[in-house]
Structure formats: C-alpha cells, structure tokens
Amino acid sequence: MSISRILKVLGVILSLLALLAYVGYLAVYIVYAVDLFHWPFDYDQGEGFELYDAILYARGEWPYKDNAVYPYYTSNYPPLFHLLIIPFLPIFGPRVVAGRVVSFVATLVTCGAVSAIVRRRAGGWFIPLVSGLAYLASPYVYQTGPLCRMHSMMVMFETLAVAFVAEFQHPRHGTRNLVLGLLMLLCAGYTKQMAVFTVAAALSYVSLRDVKKAVISGAALAAVAGVIFWLLNAATDGQWWVNTIQANANEFEYLQTLASARQWFELHTLFILLSFAYLIYELFLDRLSAYSLWFFFALGTGALSGKWGAGFNYFTTAIAAACVCSGLALGRLVSSRRLGIGDWRSLFTARGPRSAIRSLQSTIRNLKSAIRSLAIRRSVSVVRPILMVLVPLLYLWQAPRMLHLPTAGPVFGPVAEALGVGGAVTETDCMAYPYYDKMGYTQLGHLLTEDDYAAGEEILAYARTSDGPVFSEEAMFSLLIGEPVVTNPTQLRNLYLNGLLDTTDAVERVNRQEFGLIIFRARFYPDPVLQAVGQNYTTVERVCMNGFNYDILLPRRLLDGAQEQ
Amino acid sequence: MVTKRQLGIIVVVLALLGVVGLIGVDLIGVGEWSGFGPLQQIGVGLGGMAIVVGVILILLGNRPA
C-alpha cells in the first residue's frame, strides 16, 4: 500500500473522528436547549424583560417609557427581536420559551449560513460542515444561544448580511444581493446596536470594489435607518433615544476587555489563528474578501466586552466570522489550484523592500504556473493526502479546547469519564452543578435540577400571596402570576449613573411600602432605591435557585403587624 | 476599485490620526500630565503596527485591494 493511500485512509478515519466530536457538541447543545425550554423562570437575568417587551408590542404598547414613572420599566434594546417573538406567543403563551426557541433557531440558521458560505467558496463537505458545527461548539454560543436574548439573532442577521454583500458583484444577482445584504444589516442593527461593526465591514468591502456603490449603499442604509430611528423617537416622546443610546453609555474597564480577549483566544485558538492568517494572506497577497474584513471589524465588537454589563457573548460575532474565515483558509489550503507557497529566498537577495516585494510577486506567479505542470502535480499527489490528515487533526486539536458538557447522567456521566472530566462540578453561589466547562467558572451552561424547580415554585408562592405589586429583579416571577413587570433594574442603574433618572417617585413608593414583595438577586438598582428598601423592607428568606441566592423581602408593616398579633 | 497603495495611505493616515489623538489627549490638558497610561500604550502600539501594515500596502502598488 502506497504512502499516499495510507494517508488517505488515515485522513478518512480522522475526519470521521473530528466530525464525531463536533456533532457531539451539537448534541450537548440540543440537550441544553431543550432543558431550558422547560424552565419557566429567568435562567439569565434579563430574559424575562425581553419577553415582556414582546408582550407589550403584542398589546400595541411601546416598551420605551419614562423610567421615573411607575412601573419604572423600559427596554434598552431595539425592537426587532421582540417583534419576531410575537408570532410564537399564541403557541407558547406569554412564556419565556417563546423567545428561547426564536434565539435557538437563529443559532441554527447561523450555523447553516456559515456552512453554506464555506461550501460555496471552498467546496467539499467536510470543512463546510465542521465550520458550521464549530460555531455551535463554541462555549460562548452554547451558553447563550438558547436564551431569550437578542444577541444570537443579531449574529444571524450579520452572517446573512455579509454572505449577501460578499456577492454584490455577481453578474446576474449582484443588485439583489446588495439590497438583501443592506436589509440584513438594517435588521441586525435594529436587533442590537452593536451590529454597527458589521455594517462598517460590509460597506468597507463594497468601497474597496466599487466606491460609487458603497457611497450610494451607505447613504441609502443611513437614510432608512435614520428615518426609522426618528420615527421611533417621535413615537416614544424621546424615550427611544434616552433608553437605547444614552443609557447604554456605561463605564468601560479595559482590563476586562483584555481578560475576555485572552479567554476568547484560548478557547478558539485554531479558528482565530487561521482567520488572522487568512486576513494577512488576503491583505498582502490577494484581494480582501468581505469575510476577512468582517473578522477584522468584529474584533471591535469584542473590544466592547469591557463595558459594564457586557459579557463574553460580545465575541460571538467574531466567532461566527472566525468559523467562516478558518473554513475558507483551510479550503484554500487543500485546493490544488491555489498552492501558492512562494519562494521566499528571493526576498534576501533583493535590493530594498520594493524589489523584494516585486520578486515575491514574480515568484508566486511562476510557482502558480509551475503547479500546472506535471512535475508539481506529482508532489501535489502527496501533499493532498498530507492535508487530508492535517485538516482533521487540526480540528481534533481544537475540539477539546472548547470542552463543555454535563458530567452526570446515564449518557453524559460515562462520556465525561472517558474525556477525563468525570465527576467535575461547577460551583455557584449556593450550589454545585454536575457540569464541566473549559471556561472555568460560568453562570450558564449547566442543566437545571429538581431543587431548582422547587425553589422557583417557593419564590412564586411568595409572589402569588403578595398584597401589593411585586418589585422583582427578574421579570418572570411577575409574568407567571399575570402581573405587570415593575422595574428593569440594570436599565435604572445605567440611567441613574448617567444622571438621567429621577428616583423620587420610586423611593417614595418604597418608603410607603406599597410593594407587597421585593425579590433581589444581584441588587443592580440605583443607590437611593436600595437605601429606601433597606429602611422599609426586611429579608425573610434566602432561596437558592439556579445557583443564585434570591433574597425575599417583605414590607416591615407586615412583619410589625404580625409581631403585634 | 481601491488599490493596495490607496488602502495603505488610508490606513497610515487613520493610524497617525489615532496616535496623535491618543498623545494629544494628555497634551491638551497642559499641566495635567499623568504619564502614558496602559490604554494609551496599547493604542499607540496598535497604531504603530497599523502604520507598518499601511507602508507595506503602499509598497504593493496598484494591485487591487
């Protein structure tokens, strides 16, 4: 058996193993998503607020309101994600599973789009398939994908936008692709504001190829987005501007950005290195594609992870871009038409940088034409099998760097043992969950337990028997008993820190002990409100649910009255 | 169509503006110089790298970017 044949057989075996690893991640992701679909409470703080925005839209109400007025609730995000939840409300009811299903489907669409892009450009099936599955294998995507949060939907629109814009010079469908790409960018921006970086990437790409079209496209996009912006602001008496722009100007900690970037690199090393290599290759030796430009600009989204309230999911766009670029890079590597290795020796005999670069360009042209000759084809016949082994090996090397899975149960228990993480637990504030994540400490990703469900019902019992509105840091406790949501705490905090919130009315209501129940988790409220609560409410119980301590506070009038009796 | 030379010029100009801006932030507040902070060091470093990239692109001439 020849070396070439041995390598090909080995390559097939390694490819199947790599595919098994990434399909395994898909299975873990689906199990986690289904587990979340059953959970009626907030799993991540903020989910209930996104659902409530959808409920308000379904009732014909704007969620952008004056936070100084009861119930002190407003949204700080654009509307598209919430509008897309509305069709699911009649199916699931006003339950957070509606938003989770929408977000989960968005991640699947993104996975499919990544695969389709790589397949279209690089051909084959293995690299496109793994590129798409790699997106879902990322711990960042895994943990946040099935949440009722808009970030995954934004990334979906961004991916589709770049896919369309990349083909804006198609001889038959160029104009259609450009229009669809701009539409996807508009959708991305009105899902979450951070999509601005992808807008910059897409318009930069068009500029490089056709400045006139870029100017027209940019102007058209700005005009449409601007009109929508103005209409929203006018319809909400200026609350749109205050709550979606001014309130989001939070304090920035660059060390948090650096720490997040380091973790992002450690978890996604292969994809990031290949993407940088692809970017550098296109920048100096070829033409910049929309995808490498997208990867570059997506780093800006990740840079914002140092903002208060931001998290690792700010790197999700960059992960999608890296999955595309790494797939394209490997696809180019294995394609025999593009083995432009180059003769670097001439760089050392050239006189000066201009001469060196001209030598390099000439060598590359000569090498490309030599590749077409029979002599080179013979070496390619060995190189290709080597690449067939190398590519799946690279994916297998990367796979454990993103390891995350439950570590208990009839299936995951033995699998975790086999992978060397059997019995591993994730410690939270008040509980340990049988879950392993390469990220280390995480608040997300673990499956829920019977104790969590019991704790949720215990807190809900307090809400049902409250003799006044429920002032809750998480919205689902109010929504599950059919009550309006009172406060969006992080939004109130952001507005207060930016000098944009009058807490007088809220403090007075707390002082009058109008709220029959207060539920705290992280106490992300303005200081005056917290002080008033401290003076008028007493913690009667602390309940551990989903790894967090929930403080149950009752008004002192109830407790004083009980003591008198 | 933008060439690599043109792209390089744009990159160098933007990088120089960024570096000047980062340094100028402290110079504008005369008498309030508190040293070159870590964020500024990172910014100037990135700006320097961008200038190098831009110069290489300029040397690559009229090839399409």
- For residue A288, the 8-state DSSP code is P
Is the predicted pLDDT of residue A46 greater than 60, yes or no? yes
Return the ∠ at Cα B20 (arms to B6 and B33), rounded to 5°.
170
Q: Band of the pLDDT at B27, cuts 50, 70, 90?
A: low
Q: C-alpha dihedral over A188, A192, A193, A197, to 10 degrees?
A: -50
CA pair distance A268, A319, nearest whole angstrom:
8
pLDDT score for A130: 97
Label residue A264 exposed, middle or buried (CB < 10 Å: 0-12, 13-18, 19+).
buried
pLDDT score for A363: 64
The answer to whether the CB atoms of A254 and B53 lie below 8 A apart is no
> Using CB atoms, which residue from B1, B60, B65 is nearest to A357?
B60
The answer to whether the CB atoms of A208 and B42 lie below 8 A apart is no
pLDDT score for A345: 38
Q: Band of the pLDDT at A310, cuts 50, 70, 90?
A: confident
pLDDT score for A379: 56
- For residue A86, the 8-state DSSP code is G
CA pair distance A385, A396, nearest whole angstrom:
17
User: Which of A8-22, A184-198, A317-331, A350-364 has the lowest average pLDDT?
Assistant: A350-364
Q: Which residues of A403-442 are buried (b: 16+ CB within 10 A; e: fewer)?
A: bbbbbbeeebeebbeebebbebebebeebebbbbbebeeb
Q: Are strands A517-520 and A470-472 parallel, antiparallel or unpaired?
A: parallel
Mark out the alpha helices in chain B (DSSP H runs). 4-28, 38-59
pLDDT score for A384: 80
Residue B44 covered by a domain: yes
| Tokens linked to A50 | 């996104």
| CB of A404 closer than 8 Å to CB of A447 | no
- Show the domain range for B35: 4-59
Neighbours of A246 (CB within 10 A): 14
Helices A151-165 and A196-209: crossing angle in degrees, nearest 10, is 0
Q: Is B27 on the interface with A (CB under 8 A)?
A: no
- For residue A167, the 8-state DSSP code is T
Cβ contacts of B53 on chain A, cutoff 8 Å: 283
> Using CB atoms, which residue from B39, B42, B65 is nearest to A208?
B65
Considering just the CA atoms, what is the radius of gyration of chain B in Å? 15
pLDDT digits (tens, 9 = 90+) for A358-406: 666 666 676 666 656 545 555 556 678 888 899 999 999 999 999 999 9
| Tokens linked to A119 | 């397949």
Q: Which residue is closest to B58 within chain A, CA to CA?
A: A354
Predicted structure pTM score: 0.90
Residue B35 covered by a domain: yes
The answer to whether the CB atoms of A208 and B39 lie below 8 A apart is no
The answer to whether the CB atoms of B53 and A211 lie below 8 A apart is no
Q: Are strands A435-437 and A517-520 parallel, antiparallel or unpaired?
A: unpaired
CA distance B49 to chain A (A): 13
Q: Is A211 on the interface with B (CB under 8 A)?
A: yes
Residue B43 covered by a domain: yes
Number of domains in chain B: 1
pLDDT score for B37: 76
| Tokens linked to A547 | 């790894």
CA pair distance A524, A473, nearest whole angstrom:
8
CA pair distance A159, A171, nearest whole angstrom:
22
Residue B47 covered by a domain: yes
CA distance A154 to chain B (A): 28
- Average of per-residue pLDDT across A329-343: 64
**SS3 call for A554:** strand
Is the predicted pLDDT of residue A347 greater than 60, yes or no? no
pLDDT digits (tens, 9 = 90+) for A279-306: 999 999 999 999 999 999 999 888 888 8
pLDDT digits (tens, 9 = 90+) for A412-427: 999 999 999 999 999 9
Element (H, E) at A555: strand A548-555
- Average of per-residue pLDDT across A426-445: 94
pLDDT score for A161: 98
- For residue A307, the 8-state DSSP code is B
pLDDT score for A286: 93
pLDDT score for A348: 40
Cβ contacts of B1 on chain A, cutoff 8 Å: 208-211
pLDDT digits (tens, 9 = 90+) for A113-157: 999 999 999 989 999 999 999 999 999 999 999 999 999 999 999
Element (H, E) at A471: strand A470-472
Q: Is B38 on the interface with A (CB under 8 A)?
A: yes
Residue B64 covered by a domain: no
Q: Are strands A548-555 and A517-520 parallel, antiparallel or unpaired?
A: antiparallel
High-pLDDT (> 90) share of chain A, %? 78
| Tokens linked to A263 | 């973790």
- B26 compared with A248, residue with greater pLDDT: A248
Nearest to A142, CA basis, from A439, A453, A545, A456:
A439
CA pair distance A229, A223, nearest whole angstrom:
10
Is the predicted pLDDT of residue A232 greater than 70, yes or no? yes
Nearest to A46, CA basis, from A535, A521, A504:
A521
pLDDT score for A376: 53
Is the predicted pLDDT of residue A538 greater than 90, yes or no? yes
CA pair distance A458, A474, nearest whole angstrom:
15
- Average of per-residue pLDDT across A424-435: 94
CA pair distance A403, A389, nearest whole angstrom:
22
Indicate the domain borders of chain A: 3-38+76-248, 404-437, 450-564
Is the predicted pLDDT of residue A462 greater than 70, yes or no? yes
pLDDT score for B21: 85
pLDDT score for A153: 98
Is the predicted pLDDT of residue A351 greater than 70, yes or no? no
Is the predicted pLDDT of residue A181 greater than 70, yes or no? yes
Q: Is B56 on the interface with A (CB under 8 A)?
A: yes
Q: Band of the pLDDT at A159, cuts 50, 70, 90?
A: very high
How far apart, in Å, do the first and last CA atoms of chain B sit? Answer: 8
Is the predicted pLDDT of residue A450 greater than 70, yes or no? yes
CA distance B64 to chain A (A): 6
Element (H, E) at A518: strand A517-520
Q: Band of the pLDDT at A107, cuts 50, 70, 90?
A: very high
Q: Band of the pLDDT at A334, cuts 50, 70, 90?
A: confident
pLDDT score for A421: 96
- B60 compared with A563, residue with greater pLDDT: B60
User: Which of A187-201, A332-346, B40-54 has the lowest average pLDDT?
Assistant: A332-346
Cβ contacts of A254 on chain B, cutoff 8 Å: 38-39, 42
- Average of per-residue pLDDT across A226-253: 89
In this prediction the ipTM stands at: 0.89
Q: Band of the pLDDT at A350, cuts 50, 70, 90?
A: very low
pLDDT score for A564: 56
pLDDT score for A367: 64
Q: Is A234 on the interface with B (CB under 8 A)?
A: no
Q: Which residue is closest to A255 within chain B, CA to CA?
A: B39
pLDDT score for A5: 86
The answer to whether the CB atoms of A208 and B2 lie below 8 A apart is yes
CA pair distance B44, A354, nearest whole angstrom:
26
pLDDT digits (tens, 9 = 90+) for A474-502: 999 999 999 999 999 988 988 998 888 99
pLDDT digits (tens, 9 = 90+) for A550-561: 999 999 998 776
Residue B9 covered by a domain: yes
What lies within 8 Å, CB to CB, of A274 at 6+ separation is: A322, A325, A326, A329, A330
Size of interface A-B (CB pairs under 8 A): 28
Neighbours of A72 (CB within 10 A): 25
**SS3 call for A485:** coil
Q: Band of the pLDDT at A346, cuts 50, 70, 90?
A: very low
Q: Is B49 on the interface with A (CB under 8 A)?
A: no
Q: Band of the pLDDT at A335, cuts 50, 70, 90?
A: confident
pLDDT score for A344: 37
CA distance B2 to chain A (A): 5
What is chain A's mean pLDDT, rounded?
91
- A559 compared with A356, residue with greater pLDDT: A559
| Tokens linked to A456 | 């949720």
